[in-house]
Amino acid sequence: MSDCQVTRAELLEAIRGRLSEARRERFDLHLATCPECRKLFERERELTRALEQLPTFTLPDQLRKRLAAQTKRPEPQSEPKPRFARWVPVLAPSLAAVALAVLVLRGWYSPNLELVGEAVNDHLRVLYAEHPIEIESGGIHQVKPWFTGRLDFAPAVTFSGDEEFPMLGGAVGLFVDRKAATFVFKHRLHTLTLFVFRSEGLRWSMRHDTQVGALPATSATARGFNVLLWREGDLGYALVSDAEPSTLARLAGKLALHDGVH
């Protein structure tokens, strides 16, 4: 692994103070000589501080008491029952809860949840960063060449934005453990962020519930943000915003149309 890859893989450990003294010394030395990794570190640290200030929530007392009452063992019956029948009232609530959990997990769980969480966190970095845009948009023909030499791939994006979705600009971001091209769009008061990154080595789900152009895609909602995930070739795409899912779908359709995905 290159020094940049090692440093990016240790970002969270460094922020949380979990690096050994020798590793921290190498980490700090690399940040002092690599402006891009230093920017990524500062963004990650800024986001971590912001997330730590978010309020936590607990179950309401009424709901907690109701759940506790439902899990109480019933009073023993006066008439003897077969051994299995005596256990049915005790096990039924637990079995029902397990069955419900299985149905929920089978219907909704997928490895994409990891990517959805990453996409939302990266979108929050854009929202919280003091200077989220490194190259202001004069159109895709100005933004796209800026990534040359800053990424180890060419982001296949040709949509320059329009009146409905003006492009604000771009930046080099981080998606999981790799660099990503970040494109920032606006729609009224909403910010929409598109991340383009190498898809190899990431766990992609087989569950697809929508399409981007002719490509299968996955939609999800997490922490109040809507996410669209799809792949084309060896590149992955994540589109994130607090805008309505239909709004994301329209922007994704325009991205696909301009990129020749029919």
Backbone dihedral region for residue 179 (phi beyond 0: left; psi -120 to 50: alpha; all else: beta): beta
**Bigger pLDDT: 256 vs 82:** 256
- Which of 196, 199, 162 lies closest to 182 in space, CA to CA? 196
Neighbour-count burial for 145-180, b at 16+ CB within 10 Å, e otherwise? ebbeeebebebbbebbbeeebebbbbbbbbbbebbb
Tell me the per-residue pLDDT of 9-48, one tens digit each, with 9 for 90 and over: 787 788 878 889 898 999 899 989 998 888 888 877 877 7
Domain boundaries, the chain: 3-52, 112-258
Name the pLDDT band for 102 (thresholds 50, 70, 90).
very low
Confidence (pLDDT) at 104:
43
Q: What is the pLDDT of residue 100?
A: 45
pLDDT band of residue 94 (cuts 50, 70, 90) is: low
Residue 101 has pLDDT above 50, yes or no: no
Q: Taking the domain 112-258, which CATH number applies?
A: 3.30.200.100
Given pLDDT bands bounded at 50, 70 and 90, which one contains residue 247? very high
Q: Are 159 and 259 in contact (CB under 8 A)?
A: yes
At 193 the three-state DSSP class reads strand
Nearest to residue 50, comparing CAs of 113, 117, 125?
125
- Region 136-146: what's the mean pLDDT? 81
pLDDT of residue 52: 62
CA–CA separation, 195 and 213 (whole Å): 17
Q: Answer whether residue 106 shows pLDDT above 70.
A: no
What is the C-alpha to C-alpha distance for residues 166 and 122, in angstroms, rounded to an integer? Answer: 20
Residue 67 pLDDT level (bands cut at 50, 70, 90): low
Question: How is residue 34 written in tokens?
Answer: 């690599």
Q: How far apart are CA 79 and CA 98, in angstroms?
A: 29
Three-point CA angle 174, 124, 240, nearest 5°: 85
